[in-house]
Chains A and B, each alone.
Chain A
Amino acid sequence: MKARHKRGLLIAAGVVALAVAAGLVLSAFQKNLVFFFTPSQVVAREVPVGKPFRIGGMVAERSLQRQPDGLTVRFLVTDTVKSVPVVYTGILPDLFKEGQGVVAQGKVGEDGVFIATEVLAKHDENYMPPEAAHAVEQAQNAQKTLISN
């Protein structure tokens, strides 16, 4: 009888431990999901306020400005229809270039300026971040629909 009780207790403890672990994993998962938005969505204010998210698109030509401290940069991320000003302090990845795709993570302020905490590197000259390609495609599709309407 005693051994059986013990075994039952062990199984119960195991189930509880697994449930706790699963709960922990799922809550951490929920809290740390980062959503992706296109510049058009940011301009239309469809984005969460005060919560980090990612934007992607192209760095607009001739939009890169370096602030006097030499480390803070300001550039426009565009999906060819709308564009969002982005400010980032730090060293940009090697393959960051005007006219190239980019993905940045950060928050958007009241003034509509996106404060990036991270600008993601590309690994290859020809590689376009899928999020950036997606943003451009979405924006252009939306525009086509507007025109045809």
Chain B
Amino acid sequence: MVPEIGQLALILALLLAVVQGTLPMIGAQRGIIAWMALSRPLAAGQFLFVAIAFLCLALSFLASDFSVLNVASNSNSQLPAHYRVAATWGSHEGSMLLWVLMLSLWMQAVSIFSQSLPREMLARVLSVMGLVSVGFLLFLLLTSNPFERLSPPAAEGNDLNPLLQDPGMVAHPPMLYMGYVGFSVAFAFAIAALLGGRLDATWARWSRPWTTAAWCFLTLGILIGSWWAYNELGWGGWWFWDPVENASFMPWLVGTALVHSLAVTEKRGAFKGWTVLLAICAFSLSLLGTFLVRSGVLTSVHAFATDPERGLFILVFLAIVIGGALVLFAVRAPQVGGGGRFATISRESFLLVNNVLLIVAAGSVLLGTLYPLALDALSGGQTKISVGPPYFEAVFVPLMSPLVFLMGVGPVARWKQATLPELWTLLRWAFAVSLVCAVLVPLIAGGGSWGLRLGLFLAFWIFAATVVSARERIRNFRGALLERLAMQPRAWWGMILAHLGVAVFVVGVTVVGTYETERDVRMAIGDTVEMGGHTFRFDGTTAVTGPNYRAARGTVTVLRDGREMLTLHPEKRTYNASGMAMTEAAIATGLLGDLYVSLGEPIDARSWSVRVYHKPFVTWIWAGCVLMAFGGLLALTDRRYRLRSTQPQPGAALASPA
């Protein structure tokens, strides 16, 4: 009964979405107030029905109703309850339902928080989102019905892929989808503005908090995914340049560019057309990411099934959305008009360079991700190639280094016109200090390459230049230092935190890349191995039984200067339902580095192959991402977004930063 209710709720949501995608839009074009007014109740109704559908699926999973195909294929009665709930979005069908749930959630949020928008604008925004929703609901109902029954019911389920049985996996998809789908709001605002011909600073201010919110979620989603890979895949890496990771990284790069170009549009009225184009691109790449991951073109942990029908559906949908948006842009953009003028050296041009670099970076990821697929398809499967991490590393260092360097300069430069001598005067000490630190630290720590020096220089440079920009900012305020800092708007603090987050991230990536050590060794009971100033002693394994698996549980004692510091318990699990083997690494996390041990295979009765890593500063990578996301959240709570008026506040341009 429950699955049928869910199915019905989905169909009702689809009907509401169809109405929402058409009537308010026509109403806005023709000035029919009653039709426009429909958009908000329709959004609420859609949210209600999609939420009911999602709840029904979650209940089926929780009750282990194996008469539902989706539950039988992705759950098991032995699976712990929290993973049964997470299994709701562990399958293809469930994750698409989560996509739609997120979309209706964003729609509901827009309808609640954007009531101060002009009636036409709100109607158009919600209508565009309604159309996107129609596409995805149709996709669900026609090709990936999550409520399909299995007759006769299965006696026991197949179990959730053991790789997905991890706390990181519970949080990763919802966060990532909140980010992906969140860009649909920026997209809807852009389309609504193009339709209405209203593309100005006010539009940018409406659109900005939504974009920042989506960007924060996407940052967190990618972060959790990376952390999961580090913990669960047992290879000790945090980023593999896997096509599926790239699929989420491309919208992030374009989204980052969008966040910055919206700042220029809001403050200076410049970059209007460009900003709209970026909003379209960010959402298109989110859709492309969904297509790549869900259609089965890519085979990995994310691709659940290869089904050409699904792939074709998403491809057609993609073509309609991207093609339609770009055609509208081409027709309407010339009427939008230019924006404020600015000089060659100004904050605007630094932000322009930022945008160009981010887009080139996104383009290079796109090339590396799609080219092997395109070649495979064009050659009829005769030519198969792969593009691995060396390509992306070779491209990213030279592209990101100038970007990170400009992060120090941009916030200090004036809008409209700045001069190089003035910038040099402001930043010369920051430059000198970071240069000296970048040379000294490797000398003290020992070893080090040019890559390490470059990375450290850039990280110190952001720290130092951020201090300079803070000093410049509070110069004209009165009071004690802390008071003056506290006076600054939250949006400014958000920017500072996010930029410092990049510095922390760069430190992590550089140090772990230079100083990490890894060894695969054969260890008998009592054997030791030295690494990173620690001694690892293998004390054998014991057999343990988990809720739905059996495991060999190793004991590795870590000693420092002959004293026992801690004990690690890596496991080699075998899951009952699937018989699948899984390596569960044991990680001792620390501020200055992680110790990481995973079990390979038993070699004989007394010895195992063991993989031991020392990963200095690896936690900084994730700490940096958390800082970036937190910076974004702080900027979201800025006062000026809560102002009800649609008119720019006098002085707002002075008091708020980019």
Contacts and interface: CB of A to CB of B under 8 A. Distances in A.
Nearest to A26: B367
A34 B386 contact: yes
B299 A18 contact: no
Given A123-B301, A129-B299, A34 B601 contact: no
B349 interface: yes
B453 interface: no
Nearest to B598: A91
A31 B394 CA distance: 10
A32 B387 contact: yes
Contact of A94 (B356, B364, B381, B583): B583
Contacts of A134: 381, 384
A24 B395 contact: yes
A35 B368 CA distance: 14
Interface in B301-330: 301
Given A21-B399, A25-B364, A124 B161 contact: yes
Interface string B578-603: 11111100000000000000101101
B387 A34 contact: yes
Interface in B362-402: 363-364, 367-368, 371, 381, 383-388, 390-391, 394-395, 398-399
A125 interface: yes
Contact of B522 (A35, A71, A127): A71
Contact of A18 (B344, B356, B520): B356
Interface in A51-104: 54, 66, 69-71, 89-92, 94-95
A32 B398 contact: no
Interface hub of A6, A29, A105, A127 (most chain B Cβ within 10 A):
A29
18 contacts: A21-B357, A29-B387, A29-B391, A29-B395, A31-B394, A32-B390, A32-B394, A33-B387, A34-B386, A36-B386, A54-B386, A70-B607, A90-B520, A91-B601, A91-B609, A94-B234, A95-B581, A124-B580
B384 A36 contact: yes
A5 B384 CA distance: 49
B300 A123 contact: yes
Contact of B580 (A18, A22, A35, A94): A94
Contact of A7 (B163, B344, B399): B344
A130 interface: yes
Interface hub of B163, B299, B357, B363 (most chain A Cβ within 10 A):
B299
B394 A28 contact: yes
A94 B388 contact: no
A36 B609 CA distance: 30
A25 B349 CA distance: 23
Given A70-B607, A130-B299, A34 B161 contact: no
B344 A6 contact: yes
Contacts of B5: none
A105 B343 CA distance: 51
A70 B520 CA distance: 10
Contact of B582 (A25, A35, A36, A94): A94
B385 A125 contact: no
Given A10-B344, A66-B603, 12 more contacts: A18-B356, A21-B360, A24-B395, A28-B391, A32-B391, A35-B384, A70-B607, A89-B520, A94-B581, A125-B579, A127-B299, A134-B381
A36 B385 contact: yes
Contacts of A130: 299
